[in-house]
Structures are given as structure tokens and as C-alpha cells.
Amino acid sequence: MIDKGSKYNIIISSRVLLIAVALLLSLGTVNVFANEHFDNSKTIVFLGNEKIAPIIYNEKGTAKGVVVDIAKELGKKMGCGIEVRAINWDEAQRMVLLGEADALLQINPNPEREKLYDFSDELLKSEFSIFIKNGNPSIENVDDLKNKLVGVESGGYPFALLQKHGGINIELISDWKTGFLKVATGEIDAIVVDRWIGEYELAQSGIKGIQILNEPIETQYSRIAVKKGNKELLSHINSGLKEINEDGTIADILSKWKGKRVIYLTEESLKSTLLYSVISFLALILLVSLYWVIKFKKLSKKLESEVKQRTQELHDANELLRKANAELEKISMVDKLTAISNRRCFDATFQMTWGISMRERQSLALIMIDIDNFKLVNDTYGHLAGDECLKSVAAAIKSVIKRKGDMVARFGGEEFIVMLLNTTEEGAAIVAEDIRKKIKSLAIKNEAVDSVITVSLGVAAVIPNDSMRPDELINAADKALYQAKKDGRNKVVRQSILQA
């Protein structure tokens, strides 16, 4: 028989056991629900800049590079599929903001980007450095870049970095090889880029005559960025980064890729060693026989002649390549039909000019121009006649705009845009009226409306500041143009009148 005390102890033990089981089950449930928040079956799409080898680049449609290897290991730690694409950097940022991709690889935070993205923990060290032509004594640090022409990539961090330093003339370059060739030939004074990327490009391309300043402009740690508010994905990325940092995976990847730039870093020492070896060998030959000395001198002269010939051939080939690249870059910025700047060229120039006007506190003006009843011209005379009309109108606008720094561009279809530096709305309206009269004086017949070709023009101007976006000025000029067409066409309308 079981006494009362033993029976009581059994009851207590049973209750304790039940409570413990319940706690374990509840903890398991919590873990299950926690894991359910992140869908491991989903493939995470990472995007990176295709032009920053060896960090990330596109090789025959496949993304390769340091951060590509890191992203693959990160996916293993996160327990989900990973897809990495190396594409145009501006397009990559747009896709993440639109939700067409999940995250950006190798991006450096700045105040503007922090409004759009949430950033992970540190990824890679970035030393933004200055590359110049060998023997250029005029540039020793970032302060010496004032009034110099400096190449950077569109949409990259160095563009924003240089804008913080006043007086630097920024030139957007299409790719790093073209940029370094321009430095080597003296077309531009310097390039600012991540040290690793620049050294890798020089090693791969074999471009000579370039040196890097020892002191970087700025040292940062790049991150992985997700669209603002995507805290769940960011949390899993940070957890994965922590694991591959702690277990040495990232260190192994960096060790493998950093070996790729050894040739560039040790090239001078290899040349010195080779030179000393040749001198020693020549000394030995001199001691052995005068005959061999004479033979060697003859051989050396022949070799020197061949080297000079090959050097000249290489120089000529590089010059042809430079001219071809310059011509290709020029073509990509010019409208084929009208031979004036195209929309791409305007967008790049307008962004840079906006920043300059903001720093100098100068008024920046736009004139938006549209050919009246242009569809009727095409319908009546055909598209060939329409094309000739566009050419004539473009030439007329360009003949009015003569100041250095001002710009005429084809905005799209039958629309043109004029950008005027340091110009008020009143001054821009005078220029717009000259354009209107000039085009009307061409007397291009438009029998569809029993008249001649005319244009409607919208004018807007503003002194840019931090609270404004560049596209606000474009929209203001476009609204004024719309009002000009609404009021009967062949008119100039100022944006300030609409606000009155």
C-alpha cells in the first residue's frame, strides 16, 4: 500500500512534469512561428554594379566577383536560394526600389540613400582613392582636385563624394578602362574609384603610366541594402553575415580574390629584379669573352630597334582606340536625327549642373519647347517631311543659344529642351520669345492648319536648394508649356504666371 505522504509526492511530481512539458511545447511553438516569418523557399535576388570588377562583374551573362561568392555563402547560412545579377547600377537601384529585386550588393551609405534603403552590417572595406598620371606634381590630395577634370562613374558613391568638395569639374565615364586611358593620355586629370577596383582594372587592362595616391579621400565599409522598411530580410542578412564572418568564410574569399592584383602591386619590383639579372649576366659575358660582348651588343641593338618599333605600334593602336572610344561616347550622347544632344546627355548634364547651381546659389532656367500640330505634319506630308521639320527646328533653336555652358537637347518626339545657366525666369522668357520668332520666320508650310510651323514654349527658373528635386524644375517648365498650348499655341508662358 502507498501511504498518504508518498501519494502526495507523486501528485506533485506529476504536476511539475506536466508544467515542464507544456513549457517545452510552448517554446517549440514560438520557434516554429518565428521561423515561419521568413520564407526559406523564396529565392532572394541580389543585384550589383556590373562595372566594378573584381568586386562584382558580368562575364558572358554570369555574375562573378568577391561579393558574388559572399552572397552564395550567405544564402547557405540563410537556408534559402540566392540569385545574383550584375547589371547597370542605376537600373539595379531602381529595381530594388520598385520591388523587382530584393537587395543591392556593395553599396556605400550616404544621407540620400538612407532615405530610400536600410543597410546591413559592414561588408567590405572601401578606400576611395585618387588615380593620376605618373609624374603629375599638381595633385597630391583631394584639395588639389579643385578646378581639375575628374572622372567618376554615374550613380556611384564617388560622384556624391566629390560633390561635397567645391570647384571640382566632374566627368562621367562609361567604363574604367576608358577612364584610365583618358588619364594616361591627359584628357582628364584624375579618376576617383575604390582602390581595389582601380588596381584590378589596371592589372587586367595592362594600362601603363598610372599611379595611385597613398592617402584615400575617404575610407568606408560597403553594405548590403534593402528597400526601406524590409526589416525582416535585413535581419536574416545580418545574421548570415555574422556567421560567415565568425567562421572565417569571408576571410577565405577575400584571400582568394586579393591574389588577383599581385601582378600590379609587384610589377616594378619584378622589373628591377630582371634588370639586375641582365646586368649581372652582361658582366659575366664581358669577363668570358670580348667576342661575345660584341655579339651581344649587336643583338641588343637589334632588340632595341624591335622594341622601339613595337612600342610605336602599341602607341598608335592605343591612340586609335582612344579616338574610337571618344567617338563612340560622343555618338551615344547625340540625337542621330537632329545632331543635337539627346535625352541621356541632357539628364546627365542637368543633374551635374543642378548641383553646381545649388552650391553657387545661382538661378537655373529651363525652356520646354513643343512643335505645334506636328502630328498633322506627319499625316499630311509623311514622316520624311516630319524628320526634315525636326532638323530645321533643332538648328533654329541651336542658332539662338550661343552662350558657353547653355544646352539644347531633344527631349523626345517633337519636344526640345533648353537649359540656361545663371539665368532668371525673366531672362529665359526673352530667350524663349527669340526662339519662337526664329522658328516662325522659317516659314515652313503646314497646310493642314493653313499656316506655318510654330512652337509653344514653357519657361521656369529656380535657385536650387536641398529641399528641392531636379525633376521639379522640369515639371514646372512642362506645366507652363501645357498652358501655352492650351492658350492657343505659338506662345511663351512663364511658370510664375501660373502661380499668380
pLDDT tens per residue across span 370-418: 999 999 988 888 999 999 999 999 999 999 999 999 999 999 999 999 9
Residue pLDDT, tens place only, 231-274: 999 999 999 999 999 999 999 998 888 755 434 443 444 455 56
pTM for the full predicted model = 0.44
- Its sign, for the CA torsion 493, 342, 201, 248, is positive
Residue 199 is a catalytic residue: no
Q: Same structural domain for residues 115 and 255?
A: yes
- Percent of the chain beyond pLDDT 90? 59
CATH number of the domain to which 130 belongs: 3.40.190.10
Residue of higher predicted confidence among 147 and 166: 147
Same domain, 369 and 459: yes
Whose grid coordinates read 529651363?
Answer: 366
**Total domain count, the chain:** 4
From the list 153, 199, 414, 425, the catalytic residue is 414
Distance CA 75, CA 85 (A): 14
* For residues 5-15, average pLDDT: 53
Q: 288 lies in a domain?
A: no
> Each residue of 294-312: pLDDT tens digit?
877 888 888 888 888 877 8
- Give a three-class secondary structure readout of 138-197: CCCCHHHHCCCEEEEECCCHHHHHHHCCCCCEEEEECCHHHHHHHHHHCCCCEEEEEHHH
Last residue of a domain, one of 236, 260, 284: 260
Residue 265 lies in a domain: no
Same domain, 209 and 351: no
Residue with cell 559592414: 122
Q: Are 151 and 185 in a shared domain?
A: yes
Q: Which of 260, 283, 312 is the last residue of a domain?
A: 260
Residue 223 grid coordinates: 553594405
Q: Is residue 185 part of a domain?
A: yes
Least confident segment among 184-188, 286-290, 357-361, 491-495? 286-290
First to last CA, the chain: 103
Domain that holds residue 71: 43-123+223-260
Q: What is the pLDDT of residue 220?
A: 86
State how far the Cα of 179 lies from the Cα of 53, in Å rounded to an integer.
Answer: 14
Angstrom distance (rounded) from CA 48 to CA 45 = 10
* CA-wise closest residue to 440 among 491, 474, 384, 405: 491
Distance CA 54, CA 47 (A): 15
**495 neighbors 460 (Cβ within 8 angstroms):** yes
Is the same domain home to 468 and 351? yes
* Burial of 442: CB neighbours in 10 Å, binned 0-12, 13-18, 19+: middle
71 and 15, same structural domain? no
Query: How far is residue 100's CA from residue 94's CA, in Å, rounded to a whole number?
Result: 9
Q: What is the mean pLDDT of residues 128-134?
A: 94
* 15 and 152 both lie in a single domain: no
